[in-house]
Structure 1
Amino acid sequence: MTSSNRPMFWVPSGYFTMALTYNMLTAAAVIMFSNLGMDNARAAEYASALGLAYTIKPLFAAFVEMYRTKKFFVLVTQVLLGLGMMGVALCLELPDYVPVMMGLFWVLSFIGSTQDIATDGVYVTALDSKSQARFCGIQGLSWNVGKLAVMSVLLALTGVLHQYVFKQDPAVSGPTWARSWQVIFVILGVVMLAMAAWHARVMPDGARAEHTPSTPGQALATLADAFVSFFQKQGIWLMIGFALLFRISFGFLNVPSLLFMKDTLPNGGLALSNQAFGLIYGTFGIVALLVGSLVGAAIVARRGLQKSLFILCCCVNIPNITFLLMAIYQPQNILLISAGVVLEQFFFGTGSVGFMIYLMQQLAPGKYSTSHYAFATGLMGLCMMLTGMVSGHLQQQMGYTGYFIFVMLATIPSFLICWFAPFPHPEPDAA
């Protein structure tokens, strides 16, 4: 058996590499913007807007399927991402780097989303259904290891470099942080190029998916048919409401919660260093999220989704109160802050499993199940993008305490849509 036929050689590295780009652009970028001196409104708006490419990727996925091999697109995108990350490092030397940096980030987000499409395509077409099921856990674990590398290791490294190598005050935001982030982008660029070289040796080409269009006209016709049939589903508007609203409170919470942990005490934040943030959120929080996901899956397997949905809705929404309590009391004890983050992330992971299973089992089934699932996750991404873009502006107007009260009020639509969510398809027997 050649190395290209051994999924263990390329599945972990492929999904690890996918996670590096996505989490750098949509999560670590928030901390970077804060370090560089952006206000919360701009930091939240810019980082959330970078999620657009990942939200709309179902619209151009069919065109990637049509040309060359899927492996070709994986390699090209990873090389471009590597060069682009190094380009970001260079642009931070410019006196007015923000427009150039954001332009590069915008381009990289579309290249990164294309990498996701191509890597998923190799996974789906190079592995049989049995192998796909066997490697599904490794796939998810590898993606989360990539998230851990960005949000824990690299974020902590920026703090160490800034404070101990470049001898700068970690409590002061501004252009002095640029050098530390330049190192991070060089590291990411080197890793991307190394992964491209590795995947050139070990990744299979991937086959053409069944019914892949052969011309742009066919691709557009298929997309249009999938789009029309999506709106013909039984209970579709309530299901669309579910996809948009079930996690709306998290959409409002996500970016401001990161900024809250970094902001200064006089501004109402917790004043965590990058090192402490990387440990608490990037390590403890991610581990809690993974454990919560396993617990959520076990709950659904035992009780069934319909019976569990309200419980899972509570898990997603009620623990948001931990950030309200931290905003009121501004604890400086690392253990207390860690406990708050772990609690919120654990229950969010538990509840989110039900959300994804609902999209798979109730909204996606039909002639175009893959496309319809992609549309559903696109609606989820749209919610996260729009709420994220306005969240920083709202937080600046309300202050952290007032804003986190608003986040608790934003849980109401989630409970309402959960109550009315239709179940047009029978659930599989609980396992």
Structure 2
Amino acid sequence: MHSAPATRHPLLWVPSGYFTMALTYNMLTAAAVIMFSNLGMDNGEAAAYASALGLAYTIKPFFAAFLEMYKTKKFFVLLSQILLGVGFIGVSLVMNLPNYIPLMLAFFWVLSFIGSSQDITTDGVYVTSLDAKSQALFCGWQSLSWNLGKLAMMSVMVMLSGFLHEHYFGNDPHASGPEWINSWQLVFLMMGIIMLVMALWHWRVMPDGARAENTPRTPGEAISTLVDAFVTFFQKQGIWLMIGFALLFRISFGFLNAPSMLFMKDSLENGGLSLTNQEFGLIYGTFGLIALLVGSLIGGAYVAKKGLQKALFPLCCCVNIPNITFLLMAFYQPDSHVLISLGVVIEQFFFGIGSVGFMIYLMQQLAPGKYATTHYAFGTALMGLCMMLTGMVSGHLQVAMGYVGYFVFVMLATIPSFLICWFAPFPHKHD
């Protein structure tokens, strides 16, 4: 795969690259929850399987260096997108088989590692092809495009699956079971085509990406560098409290994430809100995401004004206290879409404000040092580990407790977050 001669202005490949990353990630770890539920899995299985697919994204710091040593970064971006395209089309085809679930899960498992490799190498092209000024200039496009990809997956694709299921195939939108196979097959077929088109587009416009100065030249060097980064990570001042922070700051959201989506889809008899895929995509995938983005902007401005050390505990309150909206909705089971939308928007808006504190803490307190990028990746990996482990058990706990009892448990799960936030160390002082 050699670069075609073409204009490589960052706006030609940065938005499309991060949009494609977001489509893959949100299909495998978020929209999959809805799909599994549609196909008839119980809440425990749906949450566990989707959360387990986050493993590849959690451990990607440990194999990222090996992708740096061979070919170009662009080569691996194109290869991963071609494999993702073929893989999603393959998922669509295997859903025709009688016992397709195990094979589909195997496809997803492989695709999650390919998707995480796409993330690593797309980031690599961005970092090594743009100078510091350009990286800052296009960072907003990067973030906006990723969130547009999430919107396209959680809103457009989920709503499309529901529309096809109800209006094209003529099925009951509230019933789960094998009747959903046809509509999700078309969604996966579209996903596959999009990935292949993106690979062709990026072949035309994406730069190769340069080798970073500290890129290892052999597998031995890569392992040696990783070991040194790992050892120095644990030599940081206050490291165990910082590890606790990375693990626990968003623990209540880890427990809330998958069950909150399943709650909105579940039947009234089971204690849910009985939303169709179209209604879920509009309320959670559109209104909720917009509220999250607005909250993130406000959270960043708040930290810039107050400073992280003063802002951290209020941000922790923003992450945790609004979870009560789902407890209230589980208790009253409102049938008004306005009230349901309001509950989702409040929770997502304040989560957006508060989650900014987590990322900035990792950047300013955990990451600084010889291996800043790697140590920051370790911090996000710990957060991903928390999300994966809590997500894998969340559905089973919800089934055992019921929605009201489970959302009470989610509120109790905020306590570790408050405690670790109160004792979080600040070894590096910033203005």
Structures share fold, TM-score greater than 0.5: yes
Q: Which stretches of structure 1, 4 residues or longer, exceed 4 Å deviation after superposition?
A: none
**1:324 equivalenced with 2:316 (yes/no):** no
Q: 1:204 aligns with which of 203, 207, 219?
A: 207
- Aligned equivalents of 1:327, 1:91: Cα separation in 2: 37
Return the letter of the residue paired with 1:226.
Answer: A
Q: Spell out, residue by residue over 1:363-396, the C-alpha distance to the aligned partner (whole angstroms, 9 max, x if none).
A: 0000000000000000000000000000001000
**1:133 equivalenced with 2:123 (yes/no):** no
Counterpart of 2:231 in structure 1 is 228
- Aligned equivalents of 2:240, 2:46: Cα separation in 1: 33
How far has the Cα of 1:5 moved from its partner? Answer: 3.1
**1:66 equivalenced with 2:86 (yes/no):** no
- Aligned equivalents of 1:319, 1:306: Cα separation in 2: 22
- Aligned equivalents of 1:211, 1:319: Cα separation in 2: 44
Counterpart of 1:219 in structure 2 is 222
What TM-score do the two structures reach when normalised by structure 2?
Answer: 0.99
SS at match of 1:5: coil
How far has the Cα of 1:210 moved from its partner? Answer: 1.2
SS at match of 1:423: coil
Counterpart of 1:168 in structure 2 is 171
Return the letter of the residue paired with 2:196.
Answer: L
Counterpart of 2:376 in structure 1 is 373
- Aligned equivalents of 1:189, 1:353: Cα separation in 2: 33
Q: 1:178 aligns with which of 170, 175, 181?
A: 181
Counterpart of 2:421 in structure 1 is 418
Q: 2:301 aligns with which of 271, 284, 298?
A: 298
The aligned runs of 1:272-311 (5 Å cut-off) are 272-311=275-314
Q: Spell out, residue by residue over 1:283-331, the C-alpha distance to the aligned partner (whole angstroms, 9 max, x if none).
A: 0000000000000000000000000001000000000000000000000
SS at match of 1:209: coil
- Aligned equivalents of 2:25, 2:8: Cα separation in 1: 27
Return the letter of the residue paired with 1:196.
Answer: A
**1:90 equivalenced with 2:68 (yes/no):** no
Return the letter of the residue paired with 2:337.
Answer: I
Structure 1 contact 35–177 (Cα < 8 Å) conserved? yes
Counterpart of 1:392 in structure 2 is 395
How far has the Cα of 1:232 moved from its partner? Answer: 0.2
- Aligned equivalents of 1:123, 1:332: Cα separation in 2: 46
Structure 1 contact 4–204 (Cα < 8 Å) conserved? no
**1:356 equivalenced with 2:359 (yes/no):** yes
Counterpart of 2:112 in structure 1 is 109
Q: Spell out, residue by residue over 1:332-388, the C-alpha distance to the aligned partner (whole angstroms, 9 max, x if none).
A: 100000000000000000000011000000000000000000000000000000000
How far has the Cα of 1:171 moved from its partner? Answer: 1.2
SS at match of 1:292: helix
How far has the Cα of 1:411 moved from its partner? Answer: 0.2
How far has the Cα of 1:211 moved from its partner? Answer: 1.0
Counterpart of 2:407 in structure 1 is 404
Counterpart of 2:340 in structure 1 is 337
What TM-score do the two structures reach when normalised by structure 1?
Answer: 0.99
Q: Spell out, residue by residue over 1:191-222, the C-alpha distance to the aligned partner (whole angstroms, 9 max, x if none).
A: 00000000000000000011100000000000
How far has the Cα of 1:15 moved from its partner? Answer: 0.1
**1:266 equivalenced with 2:269 (yes/no):** yes
- Aligned equivalents of 2:15, 2:330: Cα separation in 1: 38
Structure 1 contact 3–9 (Cα < 8 Å) conserved? no
Q: 1:53 aligns with which of 53, 56, 64?
A: 56
- Aligned equivalents of 2:382, 2:165: Cα separation in 1: 39
Q: Spell out, residue by residue over 1:11-44, the C-alpha distance to the aligned partner (whole angstroms, 9 max, x if none).
A: 0000000000000000000000000000000000
| Structure 2 gaps, min length 5 | none
Structure 1 contact 244–383 (Cα < 8 Å) conserved? yes
Q: 1:7 aligns with which of 6, 10, 16?
A: 10
How far has the Cα of 1:4 moved from its partner? Answer: 4.2
Counterpart of 2:161 in structure 1 is 158
- Aligned equivalents of 1:348, 1:150: Cα separation in 2: 20
Counterpart of 1:142 in structure 2 is 145
How far has the Cα of 1:262 moved from its partner? Answer: 0.2
Return the letter of the residue paired with 2:364.
Answer: Q
- Aligned equivalents of 2:44, 2:350: Cα separation in 1: 27
Structure 1 contact 299–308 (Cα < 8 Å) conserved? yes
CA-based RMSD of the aligned residues comes to 0.6
Return the letter of the residue paired with 1:227.
Answer: F
SS at match of 2:68: helix
**1:19 equivalenced with 2:22 (yes/no):** yes
SS at match of 2:237: coil
Aligned length: 427
Return the letter of the residue paired with 1:257.
Answer: S
SS at match of 2:429: coil
- Aligned equivalents of 1:129, 1:252: Cα separation in 2: 38
- Aligned equivalents of 2:174, 2:377: Cα separation in 1: 42
- Aligned equivalents of 2:233, 2:129: Cα separation in 1: 28
How far has the Cα of 1:3 moved from its partner? Answer: 4.6
